[in-house]
Amino acid sequence: MTRIRRGYIARRRRTKIRLFASSFRGAHSRLTRTIIQQKIRALVSAHRDRDRQKRNFRRLWVTRINAVIRESMVSYSYSRLINNLYKRQLLLNRKILAQIAILNRNCLYMISNDILK
């Protein structure tokens, strides 16, 4: 067999990985073996956090709705609002309620007054 050098096979593969980690801090964007490890960690975190993101946002929406509702009237809370929502058969979800609470607060007060009656 004639002698074959590897040439640029490994370099091409590592350039792509290096591009992925090009914005990382310090040695994590400069040293090849560290770059490979950090890319794996980054992708695993992204995968895991995509599921966590759904949970995080729901928590945020609940907190926001709670804050806006509590300052509207005396002794009214998020839990009572959700209870009334279900009793009156409204289908609005927390994402929309949180957005309405921020952008159009009167609308949320109208909703809460309406379902309280």
Partner 1 sequence: MASSSSSTLSLCSSFTSKCRIFHHQNTFFPCKTLSLSKANFGSLSKTPTLASTRPSFLPILKSSESQAPVLEVEADQTQSQRDPEPEPASAAVVDVAKEEPKREEVFAVVMIGSRQYIVIPGRYIYVQRLKGANVNDKIALNKVLLVGTKASTYIGKPIVTNAVVHAVVEEQGLNPKVVVFKYKKKKNYRRNIGHRQPNTRIRITGITGYQEYPAVTLDS
**Which residues contact partner 1 (rule: CB under 8 A)?**
40, 43-44, 46-47, 50, 53-54, 57, 88-93, 95-96, 98-100, 102-104, 106-107, 109-111, 113-114
Nearer to partner 1, 5 or 50 (CB): 50
Backbone angles phi and psi of 110, in degrees to 5: -60, -45
Q: Indicate the SS3 state at residue 18.
A: helix
Q: Where are the beta strands (DSSP E) in 26-107?
A: none
Nearer of residues 11 and 52 to partner 1, judged by Cβ: 52
**Residue 55: enclosing H or E segment and its boundaries?**
helix 32-70
Question: What is the closest distance, in whole angstroms, from the C-beta atom of residue 111 to partner 1 in the complex?
Answer: 6
